[in-house]
Chains A and B, each alone.
Chain A
Amino acid sequence: MGPSRASIRTLAGYLAGIVVGTTSITLLFLGMRAVMDVGGACADGGPYVSAQPCPPGVPLAMIGGMFGLFAAAGLLVWFGSQIGKGAAAIVTLGWPALFLSLGFNFLDYAFHPPDTAATPVWGWLVPGVVFWLMGGGPLAIAIAAWREARAGRPGNRLSRQMASGMPLRRPPSGPTSAQMATGLATTPTIATDPEARRLVASDEDAT
């Protein structure tokens, strides 16, 4: 028996969201490089003659990429939530994907500028570092929380939330719900009982 019609539609919508998202980030990435090739700023239209017009097609590509990201986020959340928590949560990777890739452009041009400027070009190095911190910081925290949750040591609110969304990996043979709730557990393990998870979460949130 194959997947039902509705689930195929859900899967197609979800994958379309991935395609639109990566297409948009690629358009922004390449558009940004084209603008940086002409000095990092350009302008078109209006009553004045622009000193640096934009490369042809780049404004459309970049504006399309920006709106495409919103469309992708909408598709991923709408269809992903029908598939599962993890599928919908992939939309959060859009943030590090965007900032790390655009930050790469800044850093690349800081050390390899198109003209023969003295390297590093500080005006591009600083935003590059800022972008990588903005993209890499949340990603590093999320990876650390995911590893904690997977290892069964949910130590903070983020990793507890992740642990509660993960499929059960072991039978509930560890400490009882009451032990988990009162913090008397001797072996660190994920509370496999949803009720115990709720108790642990509310207990630690209250402190």
Chain B
Amino acid sequence: MTDRASRWLPALVVVAGLLGMWLGATIFRALT
């Protein structure tokens, strides 16, 4: 892990979390 990557890690985690919530809602709508 480079310094630059680890500096951006918290922001990437937040973006990934939001993406997951959007994905979960989309999958749920598609299933039901």
Interface residues of chain A, those whose CB is within 8 Å of chain B, are: 2-4, 7, 10-11, 15, 18-27, 29-31, 34, 55-58, 60-61, 64-65, 82-84, 87, 90
Complex partner residue of B31 from A21, A61, A83, CB under 8 angstroms? A61
Residue numbers in A under 8 Å from B23 (CB-CB): 19, 22-23, 26
Chain A CB count within 10 A is highest, among B18, B21, B25, B31, for: B31
**A3 near B24: Cβ-Cβ < 8 Å:** no
**B28 near A30: Cβ-Cβ < 8 Å:** yes
**B24 near A22: Cβ-Cβ < 8 Å:** yes
**B2 near A58: Cβ-Cβ < 8 Å:** no
Residue numbers in B under 8 Å from A23 (CB-CB): 20-21, 23-24, 27
**B28 near A22: Cβ-Cβ < 8 Å:** no
Chain B CB count within 10 A is highest, among A7, A22, A25, A83, for: A22
Min C-beta distance of A94 to chain B, whole Å:
11
Chain B residue with Cβ nearest A27: B24
Q: How far is the CA of A30 from the CA of B29 in the complex (A)?
A: 9
Chain B residue with Cβ nearest A11: B5
**B32 near A18: Cβ-Cβ < 8 Å:** no
Residue numbers in B under 8 Å from A10 (CB-CB): 1
Q: List 26 contacting pairs A-B, 8 Å CB cutoff, sorted by A.
A: A2-B2, A3-B1, A3-B4, A4-B2, A10-B1, A11-B9, A11-B12, A15-B13, A15-B16, A19-B16, A20-B20, A21-B20, A22-B19, A26-B25, A27-B27, A27-B28, A29-B24, A31-B28, A55-B32, A56-B32, A57-B31, A61-B27, A82-B1, A83-B6, A84-B1, A87-B9
